[in-house]
Amino acid sequence: MAPDLDLSLFAKETPPAPPGSSDEVIRLTKLFYDKEHRIFVRLQNHPRIARYHGWDLKHGLLFDRYPAGDLFTHLLQNRDTPPPLLLRLRWVREIAEGLACIHSEGVVWVDVTLSNVLLTESSSIVLCDFAGSCLINIPGEQKLPYEYRDCQVLASHMTQMPRYKQGRLWKGPGSPHPNEDWLLNPHSDRFAFGALMFCLIALRFPHSPFFVVHDLKESVDIFKKHQALEFDTFGDVEEYRALNEIVRKCFYAAYDSTDKLLEDIRVVCDAMPSNAPLLQDKIRDSEVYLPESRSTNRRLFPFGDNEDEFD
């Protein structure tokens, strides 16, 4: 790292394509970084989005530092004494606030995971990592190049939304008709948010006794259940019935907008009594595999140099 970088900032490096890369890989690499930069420019000044300081060509994309780390690691490190339910519900609401901002600006987050939720010093949260996100054209914006869809990632198969038959993706202006290959849209983000919300409240992943699903067979079984529209619930507990309904609507793509999802979450979270029974008193994973600490380097180069990958 160059010595003149402000140490109060975090640099997400934007290395060039490796020497000898094809023209296609070079093009996609530049597009990959430019896309994330454009997204953060769109989303700036919202309290639930990681604070962005621009793209320095020497150092990379620059952000505020968040020493408390990500929410996924925080929960696993405190698995025997998890944060109180009301705090976890506040995080659910704050994540929904960030997601509503993202969708209002024509962005599909795609990688909706607790690893991409950072804790602030005040124990609030901000959302980060839009490298694999999808940009959607919205009214009043310059039409975005179709090629942006070439440089995004797919979400985990366990949080992949079933292929529901839909006319338009959402009500109102700017809603495109889904193509056969249109896998990423606000509904798919809300589906993954439903699973994330389930994890925060129940302290386990849907259809699993564990917070982290490591077993491949178990993960495939969860995927098959979701594709068959078999969704987990919080059970028949009075205090959780309204939360059950929110998760159900996320899983069934029943929300017309993330603003409506946020509205429902605010009402339910405000109504949750402080003495509500816990569905689980701790995270039951006996072995914990914590992700590597975030460094300035990208762990994986965004594109391989295989022309078949871009067919």
Instruction: Please report whether residue 282 resides in a domain.
Output: no
Cα 165 from Cα 154, distance rounded (Å):
20
Cα 57 from Cα 130, distance rounded (Å):
18
Q: What pLDDT does residue 25 have?
A: 82
Residues present in the chain in total? 311
Q: What pLDDT does residue 181 have?
A: 43
Instruction: Please report whether residue 249 resides in a domain.
Output: yes
Q: What pLDDT does residue 307 have?
A: 35
The one-letter amino acid code at 200 reads L
pLDDT confidence tier of residue 133, bands split at 50, 70 and 90: confident
Q: What pLDDT does residue 77 have?
A: 93
Instruction: Please report whether residue 278 resides in a domain.
Output: no
Tell me the pTM. 0.86
Structural domain for 116, as ranges: 71-154+184-271
Q: What pLDDT does residue 170 have?
A: 56
Instruction: Please report whether residue 207 resides in a domain.
Output: yes
Share of the chain above pLDDT 90, in %: 59
Instruction: Please report whether residue 260 resides in a domain.
Output: yes
Instruction: Please report whether residue 16 resides in a domain.
Output: no
Instruction: Please report whether residue 24 resides in a domain.
Output: no
The 10 Å Cβ neighbour count of residue 170 is 18
Give me 34's structure tokens. 């430019």
Instruction: Please report whether residue 111 resides in a domain.
Output: yes
Q: How many domains does the chain have?
A: 1
What's the CATH number where 234 sits? 1.10.510.10
Among 29, 40, 192, CA closest to 110: 192
Q: What value, to the nearest 5°, has the Cα angle with vertex 156 and ends 152 and 157?
A: 115
Of 154 and 199, the one with more pLDDT? 199
Cβ 214 vs Cβ 205: under 8 Å: no
Q: What pLDDT does residue 306 have?
A: 40
